[in-house]
Amino acid sequence: MSATCFDATCRRCERIDTYLQDARARFPGYHCAPVAPFGAPDARLVVVGLAPGLHGANASGRPFTGDHAGLLLYATLHQFGFASRAQSLAADDGLQLLDCRITNAVKCVPPANKPLTAEIAACNGYLTAELSHSPADAVLVALGRIAHEAVLSAFGARRRDYPFAHGAEHMLAGRRLIDSYHCSRYNTQTRRLTAPMFEAVFARVREWLGPAR
């Protein structure tokens, strides 16, 4: 794969491509294509999620926009000075990320929101290129185990050396990685992840990066 961070025309995963074709027919107003990262390439905070949701980013074309997971994420980013407002309503709503970039381990919505191992691997080259262009002192937040493992793969790191746990902190090629449970509806409704738990992760990020610019 060429060292590009994103390819809007990528169709390398046959199962996902078939699913997207079906989604376009069912939801003609949806984005239904690879979802580009959101935020400046030189942002010092990079938030890595799992994949676009069918009725969220796959519909809006912006990561974590239009689904439940984005409610907590954008509110928390705004609270800590990483977003210009607390809600992301649409890709053209004027919201700006501040020294922050949001991306996904898998750029297209997978069936049942569950990408296969081969699909995660097929998309990892994009994440590798993206993270290699991030600042050398960037802070990475991995939302969930799949995102965590995708980040490790991007840096050629072994999973056993960097175990996933909520709030766990790691160093990868000079960059700090901190893990969080994914801010999904399931995790927040079951209270596996609470707002204070999530806020603690970003408080730690703000501590590392210093005051908002």
Which residues touch 106 (CB under 8 Å, ≥6 apart)?
A: 50, 51, 52, 115, 119, 120, 123, 150
* Range 150-154 contact pairs with CB under 8 angstroms and sequence separation of 24 or more: 150/48, 150/105, 150/106, 150/120, 150/124, 151/48, 151/105, 151/127, 151/177, 153/121, 153/124, 153/127, 153/128, 154/124, 154/127, 154/128
Q: Given a cut of 60, is residue 129 above it in pLDDT?
A: yes
Taking Cα atoms as reference points, which of 119, 118, 84 lies closest to residue 99?
84
Question: Which token pair is 202?
Answer: 């970003």
Interatomic CA distance for residues 39 and 53, integer angstroms: 19
Which pTM does this prediction carry? 0.96
Provide φ and ψ at 46, rounded to 5°. -120, 115
Q: What is the pLDDT of residue 212?
A: 86
**Domains plus CATH for the chain?**
14-209 (3.40.470.10)
SS3 call for 146: helix
Q: Which residues contact 18 (CB under 8 A, 6 or more apart)?
A: none
What is the Cα–Cα distance from 186 to 203, expressed in whole angstroms?
23
Q: For 52-110, how does the pLDDT look when each residue is reduced to its tens digit (9 = 90+)?
A: 999 999 999 999 999 999 999 999 999 999 999 999 999 999 999 999 999 999 999 99
Q: What is the mean pLDDT of residues 179-201?
A: 97
Element (H, E) at 24: helix 14-26
- The answer to whether residue 172 scores a pLDDT higher than 50 is yes
Please say if the pLDDT value at position 3 is more than 80.
no
Say how far apart CA 33 and CA 170 lie, in whole Å. 33
Compute the average pLDDT of residues 108-135. 96
Placement of tokens 């027919």 in the chain: 25
Do residues 115 and 51 lie in contact, with contact meaning Cβ atoms separated by under 8 Å?
A: yes
CB contact at 8 A, 133 and 113? no
The overall average pLDDT reported for the chain is: 96
